[in-house]
Homo-oligomer: A and B are copies of this chain.
């Protein structure tokens, strides 16, 4: 037995990503496959004939992001870095090639310097080794801070899931690489997110809280790796937290009465669903008061930060095209949409 010095269901801290990926494949053996010798999961039937490939990736610790979104109608592959660490360029290059059926590959990259750099190198490697056509979009939906610990410009957070969904649908419908990229960029241009933390997260390697947040304080604008936010305040009630986050996203997106949105109340990993629904209640009230129509509301853990307690709120301004793409059926471990 491995000695574990923290309250986590893990074995060797350094093996947690490897074991998690095996555990995912063991849960979905017909849907997911692991590329030999890598931390890359792909659709078991990748590459899918006649379809643009869509891949993503990033540090681990954000589950179900990204591998949870692999499947019909969303991602073809997801590369897992170590916890809060970018995947290697080599593995990204391998993933890109494994997901190319000749129609090209779109990479969805969250805006962190390591991720962007490694994806750029991975794309170069893939292009050197094969004749794959590759393009990428960078998601930077976090409205809280410009430039942060790990980014120039804004961070990429939970809005990424809407990018996966819309681009994945377009690819499943037979869109070519340029169309799929256009749709992905359209979501990037119309989505905003802001998060907050009640508690820190604890990484398996370190075994103690990543940052210190006193018992009577919360942090607004926090990132998904415990990076600093914009403001520490005393503990607030759920309605006040919801108002703070929502107002900030609304301002950023400049949403006016009559707009139509899809929303996500996202749990950070340690937050019970009960609390997320309390937040959703106030979010939908606020939107109603402003005459903004919610076309679809997601509530749950979509992009987490290990065991951090807290939430984020994401708004995506819809148009007919995006609405149709979000409705397209999908079947993945973390998200299933049935045919109407």
Contact B309 A239 (CB under 8 A): no
- Count copies of this chain in the complex: 2
* Known A-B contacts A26-B281, A27-B277; A7 and B272 likewise in contact (beta carbons under 8 Å): no
Residues of B with C-beta under 8 A to A16: 274, 278
Q: Contact partner of A61 among B22, B23, B236, B272, CB < 8 A?
A: B272
Q: Please indicate which of the listed interface residues A21, A299, A306, A309 has the most CB atoms of chain B within 10 Å of its own CB.
A: A299
Which partner residue on chain B sits nearest A198 by CB separation?
B7
* Known A-B contacts A239-B11, A240-B1; A306 and B274 likewise in contact (beta carbons under 8 Å): yes
* Known A-B contacts A5-B235, A237-B1, A238-B9; A23 and B199 likewise in contact (beta carbons under 8 Å): no
Q: Within A153-173, which residues are at the interface with B (CB < 8 Å)?
A: none
Q: Please indicate which of the listed interface residues A26, A237, A272 has the most CB atoms of chain B within 10 Å of its own CB.
A: A272
Select the stretch in A99-107, A138-146, A182-190, A330-338 that faces chain B: A330-338
* Known A-B contacts A11-B278, A237-B10; A273 and B299 likewise in contact (beta carbons under 8 Å): no
Contact A284 B26 (CB under 8 A): yes
Q: Contact partner of A63 among B274, B281, B297, CB < 8 A?
A: B274
Contact B20 A274 (CB under 8 A): yes
Which partner residue on chain B sits nearest A331 by CB separation?
B338
Q: A64 within 8 Å of B by Cβ?
A: yes
Q: A301 within 8 Å of B by Cβ?
A: yes
Q: Could you tell me the distance between the alpha carbons of A282 and B8 in the complex, rounded to whole angstroms?
A: 15
* Known A-B contacts A270-B270, A338-B338; A239 and B1 likewise in contact (beta carbons under 8 Å): yes
Contact B27 A297 (CB under 8 A): yes
Map CB proximity to B onto A10-26 as digits: 1 under 8 Å, 0 otherwise.
Answer: 11000010011111101
Chain A positions near chain B (C-beta within 8 angstroms): 1-11, 16, 19-24, 26-28, 60-61, 63-64, 68, 198-199, 215, 218, 235-241, 269-285, 297-299, 301, 304, 306-307, 309-311, 329, 331, 333, 336-339
Contact B4 A235 (CB under 8 A): yes
Q: Could you tell me the distance between the alpha carbons of A311 and B307 in the complex, rounded to whole angstroms?
A: 14
Q: Contact partner of A277 among B63, B282, B299, CB < 8 A?
A: B63
* Known A-B contacts A9-B271, A26-B297; A20 and B237 likewise in contact (beta carbons under 8 Å): no
Residues of B with C-beta under 8 A to A298: 27
Residues of B with C-beta under 8 A to A64: 273
Residues of B with C-beta under 8 A to A269: 272-273
- Sample 26 A-B pairs with CB under 8 A, ordered by A number: A1-B237, A4-B235, A7-B309, A9-B198, A9-B271, A10-B238, A11-B237, A11-B278, A20-B277, A21-B277, A23-B277, A23-B279, A23-B299, A26-B280, A26-B281, A27-B297, A27-B298, A28-B297, A61-B274, A63-B274, A63-B277, A271-B307, A272-B306, A329-B338, A338-B338, A338-B339
Residues of B with C-beta under 8 A to A310: 9
Contact A273 B2 (CB under 8 A): no
Chain B nearest Cβ from A8, distance in angstroms:
6
Which partner residue on chain B sits nearest A25 by CB separation?
B281
Q: Contact partner of A4 among B3, B6, B236, B336, CB < 8 A?
A: B236
* Known A-B contacts A9-B311, A19-B281; A63 and B27 likewise in contact (beta carbons under 8 Å): no
